[in-house]
Homo-oligomer: A and B are copies of this chain.
Amino acid sequence: MGATRYREIAESLRHAIRTGTYPLGSRLPSESDLATRWEVSRGTVRQAVALLASEGLIGSRQGARRVVLRQERRQSFQQLNSFAQWAQAMGCEVTSRILTRTLRPATDEEAERLDTDPGTEILYVLRLRHLDGEPVMVERTVYADWVAPAVLELPEDCVSIMDSIAERADIVAHYGEHLIDAVAAGSEDARLLQIRRASPLLRQRHLSYTAAGRAIEWTDDRYRAGSVVFNVMNSAAAAPLERRAGPDVTG
């Protein structure tokens, strides 16, 4: 996390927005104004404001000053990819328990997701996760063969598998792809989460991979309804999220 000039400026602007120096709906100083104040070129100022725009904090239109759209910064990638990091940042007490760990050949779908050959030995993990003592999420993950040894070493109450394998085996997620939808609780889900069968669950399936593009894991996380909300901010300039048809859309 290198400290650069444009990150400094961005952080200063973030702080000014959060503390009300530039209230919601107000206009930011012009680029040339900021460039003068910070004694940098206009290009560097543009890098700073582009960062804030990508965080959804400000919006812009040609010819008009930039406008403050929100006061709070969006959470980081780590917090989206890691349940533990997210929950800790929220100030919740997180506990987890690995219920089963099974080495077995990958199914065709798993092999495709993990970009490996069908039949490769992968590691399947079933895990139950709690917030402040309440069971909130069931996690079913398959880890790629080259990751499995590191995961097998971990204790069954390990709070964050991703953090642990980053530290011990230097396996770090750089990219993620997420599929979000709603499903009815199956009997295993219902038993573990202590809810009725067919209750609504928010499902987040995601694939993590390294900076080099190597797949690490493919996971199916199911949250009790009401426990979690996903939030996304977009604009005509940038739309990070897309909507897709589910399997049972007719046609």
Contacts and interface: CB of A to CB of B under 8 A. Distances in A.
A245 interface: yes
A76 B239 CA distance: 6
Nearest to A25: B213
A77 B234 CA distance: 7
A131 interface: yes
A37 interface: no
A132 B230 contact: no
Interface string A164-184: 000000000111111111111
A contact face: mostly helix, strand, loop, or mixed: mixed
A229 B132 contact: no
Nearest to A204: B243
Q: What is the interface residue range for chain A against chain B?
A: 35 or more
A92 B246 CA distance: 13
Q: What copy number does this chain have within its complex?
A: 2
Contacts of A173: 236
Contact of A241 (B61, B80, B90, B237): B80
29 contacts: A56-B240, A59-B175, A67-B213, A75-B239, A79-B239, A81-B234, A131-B249, A132-B250, A176-B234, A176-B235, A178-B230, A179-B231, A180-B202, A180-B230, A181-B202, A184-B225, A200-B200, A225-B246, A227-B248, A228-B246, A229-B243, A229-B244, A229-B246, A230-B242, A231-B241, A231-B242, A231-B244, A240-B241, A241-B241
